[in-house]
């Protein structure tokens, strides 16, 4: 009986079309998939296990660190630190870069990730996920934070895993966007969404409207203009889950700049950039409202960026709204 195409088989087949491909991404993505399955197992029993609740600590962003944030962070590090494929890792939950320890071989890439995106949803059984991105390392013997402060257009690979009743891993290496759904009976991610393309126009918009008093009036005008157009409002509070639904159905996700937070809330390096690489490969767009996300040069590992991402027509309309003169509030 044909079980379908496993992630490994698909990666090997893809590798054949990539000149000079060495199989490194195959090994990296396989290890990431294993880490994701381990995290997913904890998520599935989080309600019963110790991996729920708060650690009592706050991270560099001043946000409460959930036990699962910590667990997922170190699960990913332990899954990849011995592979000889990476020189260093960085994550939302670590202030500094984590160089691969001397007793492990180093490799030519660096991995940056958000171990649990949507942490506030862990204890209410709403979908959460892991977002990751891979860059080349300039000097694997001396990895630097500068290896992570690359423009998003320099990414070699980006992806995410969503922990839901049907876990899915989605990735791109620049040759389209492909989704793999976990078959729990065999513990394998099987190809379920080959060459995903986002619908040109959104049918859904995702934004936390409670924040609207803090927005530029033109943003408020744009969002108000979406109402009564037949679109649906959907907001899960896990970027990766909102993103994935919009990718499949056509949608626009917005976390705009705010009066007191001109760079918005979401992080450029391990939230906006990986999803921007994916959405452009799927025919969509990702912007700060003024600039293509993949062209923004990060100044620091944890910097934030306003994000509007999804169907290309809607992102273009948002950017046009922000170009209107301030006094002519849209
Ligand atoms: P994280 O859990 O990694 O900190 O990310 C949470 C982010 C993102 O997942 C989500 O879209 C956004 O925070 C929700 O923010 P609000 O609760 O302010 O809407
Ligand atoms: Mn996040
Ligand atoms: Mn997170």
Residue in 268, 253, 254, 256 with CA at minimum distance from that of residue 213: 256
Q: Is the per-residue pLDDT at 64 higher than 80? A: no
Answer whether 0.85 is exceeded by the pTM.
yes
With the most atoms of ligand 1 within 8 angstroms of its CB, the residue from 266, 269, 302 to mutate is 266
> Are 275 and 311 in contact, with CB atoms under 8 Å apart?
no
* Mean pLDDT on 59-69: 77
Q: 3-state class of 85 per DSSP?
A: coil
Residues around the ion ligand 3 (C-beta < 5 A) = 92, 114, 116-117
Taken in order of first residue, the domains within the chain and their CATH numbers are: 7-193 (3.30.540.10), 204-328 (3.40.190.80)
pLDDT of residue 66: 72
Going by pLDDT thresholds of 50, 70 and 90, the confidence category of residue 42 is confident
pLDDT of residue 68: 87
pLDDT of residue 178: 98
**Adjacent-strand bridge partners of 136:** 109
Share of the chain above pLDDT 90, in %: 82
> Are 286 and 153 in contact, with CB atoms under 8 Å apart?
no
Average pLDDT, the chain: 93
Going by pLDDT thresholds of 50, 70 and 90, the confidence category of residue 329 is very low
Ligand nearest to the CA of 121: 1
Q: How far is the CA of 267 from the centre of ligand 2 (A)?
A: 7
Tokens of 29: 């993505």
Q: How far is the CA of 229 from the centre of ligand 3 (A)?
A: 33
Residues around the ion ligand 2 (C-beta < 5 A) = 114, 117
Q: 3-state class of 70 per DSSP?
A: helix
**Adjacent-strand bridge partners of 99:** 88
Regarding predicted confidence, which is higher, 15 or 301? 301
Q: Is the per-residue pLDDT at 126 higher than 60? A: yes
Ligand nearest to the CA of 270: 2
Q: How far is the CA of 266 from the centre of ligand 1 (A)?
A: 7
With the most atoms of ligand 1 within 8 angstroms of its CB, the residue from 128, 255, 271, 310 to mutate is 255
pLDDT of residue 330: 47
What is the number of the ligand 1 atom nearest to the C-alpha of 240?
9
Distance of CA 195 to the CA centre of its chain: 18
Going by pLDDT thresholds of 50, 70 and 90, the confidence category of residue 25 is confident
> Are 181 and 190 in contact, with CB atoms under 8 Å apart?
yes
Q: What is the largest CA-CA distance in the chain?
A: 65
pLDDT of residue 57: 78
Q: Is the per-residue pLDDT at 295 higher than 60? A: yes
What is the number of the ligand 1 atom nearest to the C-alpha of 61?
4
Report d(CA 120, CA 115) in Å as an integer: 13
Burial of 326 (0-12, 13-18, 19+ CB in 10 A): exposed
Going by pLDDT thresholds of 50, 70 and 90, the confidence category of residue 46 is low
Tokens of 217: 């009036």
Q: How does DSSP classify residue 253?
A: E
pLDDT of residue 1: 67
């Amino acid at each position: 009986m044909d079980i379908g195409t496993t992630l490994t088989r698909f990666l090997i087949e893809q590798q054949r079309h990539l000149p000079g491909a060495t199989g490194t991404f195959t090994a990296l993505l396989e290890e990431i998939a294993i880490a994701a399955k381990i995290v997913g197992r904890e998520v599935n029993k989080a309600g019963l296990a110790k991996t729920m609740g708060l650690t009592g600590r706050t991270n560099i962003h001043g946000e409460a660190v959930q036990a699962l944030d910590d667990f997922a962070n170190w699960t990913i590090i332990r899954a990849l630190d011995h592979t000889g494929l990476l020189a260093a890792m960085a994550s939302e939950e670590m202030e500094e870069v984590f160089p691969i320890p001397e007793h492990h071989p180093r490799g030519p890439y660096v991995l940056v990730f958000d171990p649990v995106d949507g942490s506030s949803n862990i204890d209410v059984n709403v979908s959460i996920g892991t977002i990751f991105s891979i860059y080349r390392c300039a000097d694997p013997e001396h990895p630097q934070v500068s290896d992570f402060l690359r423009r998003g257009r320099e990414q070699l690979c980006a992806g995410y895993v969503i922990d839901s009743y049907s876990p899915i891993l989605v990735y791109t290496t620049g040759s389209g966007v492909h989704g793999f759904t976990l078959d729990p009976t065999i513990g394998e991610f099987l190809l379920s969404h080959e060459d995903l393309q986002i619908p040109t126009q959104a049918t859904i918009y995702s934004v936390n409207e409670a924040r609207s008093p803090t927005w530029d009036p033109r943003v408020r005008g744009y969002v108000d203009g979406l109402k009564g157009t037949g679109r649906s409002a959907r907001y899960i509070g896990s970027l990766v889950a909102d993103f994935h639904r919009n990718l499949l159905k056509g949608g626009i996700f917005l976390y705009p700049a705010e009066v007191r937070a001109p760079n918005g809330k979401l992080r450029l390096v391990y939230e906006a950039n990986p999803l921007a690489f994916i959405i452009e490969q799927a025919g969509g767009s990702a912007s700060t409202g003024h600039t293509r996300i993949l062209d923004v040069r990060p100044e620091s590992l944890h910097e934030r960026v306003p994000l509007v991402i999804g169907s290309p027509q809607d992102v273009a309309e948002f950017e046009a709204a922000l170009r209107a003169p301030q006094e002519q509030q849209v």
